[in-house]
Structure 1
Amino acid sequence: MKILYESDLAGSKNHGMAYRIYQFSKEFVESGHEVMIVAASYSHVRRVNPCVKKNLTDEIIDGIKYKWIKTPKYSGNGLRRVIHMLLYNFKLCFFAKKIARDFRPDVVIASGVTPLDFIGCYRIARKAKAKIVLEVGDLWPLTPIELGGYSSKHPFIRFMQKAEDYAYQNTDNVISLLPCAKDYMVGHGLSPEKFYFIPNGIVVQDWKQTQDLPLEHQDVIRQIQNRGKFMVGYAGTHSISNALYTLLEAALKLKNKDVEFVLVGEGPIKEDLIKYSQSKNIENVHFLPGIPKASVPTLLKRMDVLYVGFQRRSLYRFGISPNKIYDYMMAGKPIIQAIEAGNNIVKEAKCGLYVTPDNIEEITNAILELKEMSSTDRKKLGDNGNQYVLQYHSYEVLTGNYLNILNNLIKQ
């Protein structure tokens, strides 16, 4: 089977995020299929962007054929990003015939951030007489309406709404990262039998080829352990959406309870968090720099419990599939989940405690409950998470599910 996988933000092991498209493509290739990734040459989430001079540039990475569409740089979510988005999708449509002729896919997967990508991908699929699949990670234009405060009557939002409805009405299947979004999609034109849920996952091999922590991180963790303190860990982006101010307030309440907090990573509010903890004299919180991906397993396994939190947002009613929770599960540690969503991963896996978002008292009580729990019972929670993620969220398992959907689609 020849699979064309499109996403403006697609990355690779050489370029960095986004990893989902790369990881599935790598698994597809290893399963004997031919894969082309079509992506924009510039993305704000990549660590490194490819160097391109032509409108279309080809590259092969791990057996995957990449076709980079030349696009301008941008920063933030302002006008330059909108221009980037529109130019990328114009070129995707303009070069659709050439891309279809060069690769001749059996199936095209449109996995862009917005539904605009579907239009170009649908054109490629029709030229190649291929099936078309829409992969949805964010609901557009609902995301800018509910998070950005845009009016549903704004011309840009109306344009996006028409694109979304067109995509749901014309796709052969939907692969959703949002487990509870089926009714919403059906309400915008999708046939119910076309909905499938394929969440994010973990690469088991990454947990077999790990790296040691930087010396700074080793020293801080060793000192905490030598003091006999209970360690609460957080690894990832320091942003408003991750509800870290609430975690700092919980740390303040636990200042004299032999509990210390280790926050590892970077992000737009990290410096503000550090200043806030200093102003509040929160001495039991340690901020450490971000670490290579290969060192994350080593870090997580050194913690006693792991925290994940999101601010309360109405969009989460459609469910979540955060990589962070799956990494935490792989580490085999109990999880404190402060998230309100359409699904409850920690509850399903029986791997920790779940509390109300932004509720300092509940987070504090959850930490104390786990601290007072026997090490055997904590290990049981951690083992539950590890077994759950291996059974349902390894890319090997998810790829099998994905290929079954694609194979059945092509046979129709």
Structure 2
Amino acid sequence: MEYRPYYLAREWQRLGHRVRIIASAHSHVRTHNPDLRGHSRLDEVIDDIEYTWFNTPAYSGNGVGRALNMAAFVARLYREGPGLAREFRPDAVIASSTYPLDIWPAHKIARLSGARLLFEVHDLWPLSPMELGGYSNRHPFIMLLQAAENYACRHADAVVSILPKVREHLEAHGMAPHKLHLIPNGTDPAEWLGAPSPLPSSVADTLAGLRRRGHFIVGFAGSHGVANALETLLSAAALMRDDPVTFVLAGGGPEKERLQQRARDEGLEKVCFLDPLSKEYVPALLASFDLAYIGLQRQPLFRFGVAPNKLIDYMMAARPVLYAIEAGNDLVSEAGCGISVTAEHATAVVQGIRAMRAMDPHQRNAMGLRGRKFVLENLTYPVLGQRFLKACA
């Protein structure tokens, strides 16, 4: 699932607050959606966090089905808002969907309960569907989204953004300067600082074999999607056929089969694909990399900054990072935990890998440790949860 609301809620619960998450039962950001067994609503408690799931239409892709899902969820929030306000009586209401349409029912709940209203920005809508999907600013759905964003900027008591470079955009849409709080994605340190779960034997044997052959392991762990610029990584592998470097790609996703076929077609023998591993094995997997790769396609939207969870995982694993992203921020340079190269540029990736491989192992380890130190000081959910509470006050 999308873990940020869960981790924040868990921290607030530990600090003595009561937290309820209200969500659509159907969303593409989850591996498994909750089973409502035909009911229109499900209330349950997960790790002391109260959840309310509203049944909404299932969908795939970004077409009409997703729009209907959004409309059903927002309409349900409107209908059940007065009851939620009476029953739960919140002190703070956070509108935190990817899209801003839930700001209107969230404001209604906040008014009825005398609560502060917060607007949390994950992605910039309607700018995202306009710039990525080519929608006109005159499209009725885009105009509705714009009205919601403008309303949120004007009426929210505070605006929390994951993206670090959004101030100018939000102020242009009515946000008062004092309202903005920058609170990035983070991690749960408890999942990283204990002894990692040993890798499944098949994976451990594969990685051990590469070590015995003296190969430098460049690793990627995550979704194999177009956005992650893995084509660039395969192009780099093609340029490094004669280098003792193996590229390990772990995970699944819509592009995996095509990437595997390309590797076969081009005879990329030093590219190794691993099946997805459950969360418990990720620390041990990342620890096996000599260098962790993260890339994204070039997108104008990245001028507002990026906050990839994968990067935080790499840093917590104390791995030096090859960062092939062009964005308004560069966490790798800020933390001094790796090398930044031109996005979607295979030759630049090759140069970065060779520079890191030529480095003394102690230097690479020091880079990785700086990344972990940076995350522990700034990007753990105990830290971020406290910062978010200040925005709620």
TM-score by length of 1: 0.93
| Percent sequence identity over aligned pairs | 43
Partner of 1:27: 11
1:168 is matched with which residue: 153, 159, 162? 153
Cα distance, 1:215 vs structure 2: 2.1
Moved more, 267-276 or 47-56: 47-56
Paired position in structure 2 for 1:39: 23
Q: Give 2:342's aligned amino acid.
A: T
**Number of the residue aligned with 1:140:** 125
Partner of 1:157: 142
Whether 1:355 aligns to 2:350 is no
1:328 is aligned to 314
Query: Could you say what the CA RMSD is over the residues aligned between the two structures, in angstroms?
Result: 1.0
Letter paired with 1:43: S
Displacement of 1:155: 1.1
Q: Distance in 1 between matches of 2:290 and 2:319?
A: 7
**Which residue identity is paired with 2:43?**
D
Worse-matched range after superposition: 194-203 or 154-163:
154-163
Counterpart in the other structure of 2:300:
314
User: Residue 207 of structure 2 is aligned with which of 214, 221, 237?
Assistant: 221
Amino acid at match of 1:151: S
Q: How does 1:246-325 map to 2 (within 5 A)?
A: 246-325=232-311
**2:42, 2:238 → 1: CA distance?**
53
Q: Where do residues 234-253 of structure 1 align in structure 2 (5 Å cutoff)?
A: 234-253=220-239
Question: Residue in 2 aligned with 1:205?
Answer: 190
Shift of 1:44: 2.1
In the alignment, which residue of structure 1 is the partner of 2:66?
81
TM-score, length-scaled by structure 2: 0.98
* Aligned AA (2:46): I
Match of 1:50 in 2: 34
Structure 1 SS opposite 2:19 = strand
- The 3-state SS of whatever aligns with 2:102 is helix
Matched, 1:112 2:112: no
User: What secondary structure sits across from 1:95 in the alignment?
Assistant: helix
Alpha carbons 1:262, 1:286 under 8 Å: kept? yes
Q: Give the Cα–Cα distance (whole angstroms) in 2 for the partners of residues 68 and 357 of structure 1.
A: 39
Cα shift at 1:78: 1.7
Deviations 1:52-79 (A, max 9, x none): 2443321111111111112121122221
Deviations 1:98-149 (A, max 9, x none): 1111100011011011110111111110111111000000000000000011
Deviations 1:234-256 (A, max 9, x none): 00000110000000010111111
CA shift, 1:181, in A, is: 0.2
Q: Which of 179, 184, 203 is residue 169 of structure 2 equivalent to?
A: 184
Task: Find 2:2's aligned residue among 9, 18, 22.
Answer: 18
Q: Is the 8 A contact 1:305 1:335 kept in 2?
A: yes
Task: Report how many residues are paired.
Answer: 391
Q: Secondary structure at the match of 1:152?
A: coil
Q: Tell me the residue number matched to 2:55.
A: 70
1:92 aligns with 2:68: no
1:316-373 deviations in Å (ceiling 9; x for gaps): 0001111111100011111000000111100000000000101111110110011010
Any conservation in 2 of the 1:209–1:294 contact (CA below 8 Å)? no
Partner AA of 1:364 in structure 2? V
Shift of 1:209: 5.7
Q: Aligned equivalents of 2:269 and 2:35: distance in 1?
A: 45
1 CA distance for matches of 2:383 and 2:176? Answer: 26
Gaps of 5+ in 1: 1-16, 408-412
Match of 1:4 in 2: none
Q: Report whether the alignment pairs 1:382 with 2:363.
A: no
- SS of equivalent to 1:134: strand
SS in 1 for 2:42: strand
Q: How far apart in 2 are the matches of 1:227 and 1:79?
A: 52
- Distance in 1 (alpha carbons) for counterparts of 2:90 and 2:107: 12
8 Å contact 1:202–1:393 — kept in the other structure? Answer: yes
Higher mean C-alpha deviation, range 73-82 or range 129-138: 73-82
Amino acid at match of 1:193: H
